[in-house]
Structure 1
Amino acid sequence: MADRAPTVPHLFPAEVERLLDRADALCGRRHVKLTALRRQILGLLLEAGAPLGAYDLLQRLQAVQGNAAPPTVYRTLEFLMEFGLIHKIERLSAFVPCTHTLGRAPCHDHDSECVHASQFLICRVCSGVTELEDPAIVAAIKAATKNVSFRPQHLTVEIEGVCARCAAG
């Protein structure tokens, strides 16, 4: 008897699949599922290498499975943000994978001093985004918020400017 073909073709390069497997393991540790749809959308973001808006994601998803609808994409994006797998870049109204969460085990114990903090460098010329996580910036914000008895749990800073590649060109 011949082997059955998989119902979903292998769409992503090996590095993206490795990161998706890491995301799946993170979700498992949090007792949630990285469903096929969530995995597909996260994979599209990882593969893009650039920020994608919800409708860009919808178009890419529809190319793979034609019946995708906007509410499905938005619900999936909310899930991926809630569990720290992606970030929304407000300035661009677009989404990027969290390079830090997928690179190490994140802290999501909101009763501790853990702060999921990222800084995004956004190029005004090419719209490229680089994610940083500078502990000195986090320490400064923690110190400032402690002075007003506020305990941050999530921190996103967006910094606009010109990337090195665009500045050189």
Structure 2
Amino acid sequence: MPAATTAEADWPAYLAGIEQRCREQQASLTPIRREVLEWLYRHPAGLKAYDLLALVRQQRPNATPPTVYRALDFLIEQGLAHKIGRSNTFVVCRHDSHRLPGLFLLCPRCGGISELAAEAALQSLLQTLAQAGYRLDSPEVELSAVCPACLGRA
């Protein structure tokens, strides 16, 4: 299971913004949804659903897979998390909103995942797809790209 990062100091501010956003959207951030969101926040490289389940069971021993999957579905529907299909992991969304799909860089060496803010590139991609008669099928665009840390080790 991936190790947690030192994002603890930023969590209260992030959570306050998310709680406000949920109130505005009349969406209920239940304790289990909040807990899953926090685990994702503290693991920027993402977590698989069963890794999340193991973490949730530390506080809720009776938690079941549907409990975690329902929480993940809610977080994705609210734009608070993303599913990275290539690695079958879930990551927290660190942007306020998405008018465009999320652009994710997946490092093939260390497995790290980064969400890149690249509105112009995404606009161009969507326009090019439309001109070719295609439509993006997913709210996430995933690219394999070696991260700076791995490049530094090369």
Cα offset for 1:17?
2.3
In the TM superposition, residue 153 of structure 1 has moved relative to its aligned partner by 9.6
Pair 1:130-2:119 in alignment: no
Query: What is the aligned residue count?
Result: 147
TM-superposed deviation, 1:145: 4.7
Whether the 8 Å contact between 1:54 and 1:94 is mirrored in structure 2 is yes
Q: Deviations over 1:56-106 (max 9, x none)?
A: 0000000122111100100110110011000111111001111113xxxx2
Please tell me whether residue 91 in structure 1 is matched to residue 86 in structure 2.
yes
Q: 2:10 aligns with which of 15, 29, 32?
A: 15
Tell me if 1:163 matches 2:147: yes
Superposition RMSD in Å: 2.2
The structure showing larger relative contact order (alpha-carbon pairs under 8 Å, at least 6 residues apart) is 2
Runs of 4+ in 1 over 6 A off after TM superposition: 148-154
**Alignment of 1:64 onto 2:59:** yes
Give identity over the alignment, percent: 35
Structure 1: where are the runs of 5+ without partners?
1-11, 108-114
Q: Return 5+ residue gaps in structure 2 as ranges.
A: 1-6
Deviation, 1:120, is 0.7
Map 1:27-42 onto structure 2 (within 5 A).
Answer: 27-42=22-37
Amino acid of the residue matched to residue 17 of structure 2? R
Aligned to 2:94, the other structure's residue is in SS state: coil
Q: Which residue of 2 aligns with 1:9?
A: none
